[in-house]
Homo-oligomer: A and B are copies of this chain.
Amino acid sequence: MIRTRADVARTALDVLTTEGPEALTHARVAEIARYSKTTLYAHWPSRVDLIAIALDALGEMPHHEPTGDIRVDLVGELKAFRQAVQDFRLDRVLSAMAQWATVEAMAQIREKVNTEGQRPIRALLERHFDGPRLEAAVSMLAGVVACPSLMFGTLPDDDMIEEAVDIVIVGAGGAPAVR
């Protein structure tokens, strides 16, 4: 069962990211993973179960090992996020989760996956920000990777990531310099 579970999870994630959410069906996963549909339905009765197990296959996202230097650590974490978007096609995973969020079980999975994903950046920023400024900074740094990816199918280069981190670090300093 452990072997089956791992096979099905990986296959479901592959189908989701390469063929799109509409292709993620019991029939398609059964065909590729070479299990019977009966087996799949027995363990994962609904489509939401298939999606949930696909997200399990994301496993532990790789993260940057903190050095204690806020700039180095934020840049490192954003580069790790960029790499994960590329390796795991997180842009498609995010889109699929957003699309299915009207299903309550799916909304909970999305909440968990995205909260976990944001945790390292939030932990770094919490040393310098709190309240709405913290929330803004977390979304802004997530956005520098997620927005080009979700809106244009591109990823930020190193310069863009470093500029974003500098903007946020300056923002920790205090009052606006330009009005």
Contacts and interface: CB of A to CB of B under 8 A. Distances in A.
Contacts of A137: 163-164, 167
Contacts of A102: 20
A146 B94 CA distance: 12
Contact of A143 (B111, B140, B159, B160): B140
Interface string A147-179: 110111100110111111011111111111111
A152 B169 CA distance: 25
8 contacts: A20-B99, A94-B98, A95-B96, A110-B152, A135-B163, A139-B160, A142-B147, A146-B150
Given A136-B167, A140-B164, 16 more contacts: A20-B99, A69-B179, A92-B99, A94-B95, A95-B98, A111-B152, A136-B156, A136-B161, A140-B144, A142-B151, A150-B150, A169-B179, A170-B170, A170-B173, A170-B174, A170-B175
Interface of A: 20-22, 69-71, 91-92, 94-96, 98-99, 101-102, 107, 110-111, 114, 118, 128, 131-133, 135-137, 139-144, 146-148, 150-153, 156-157, 159-164, 166-179
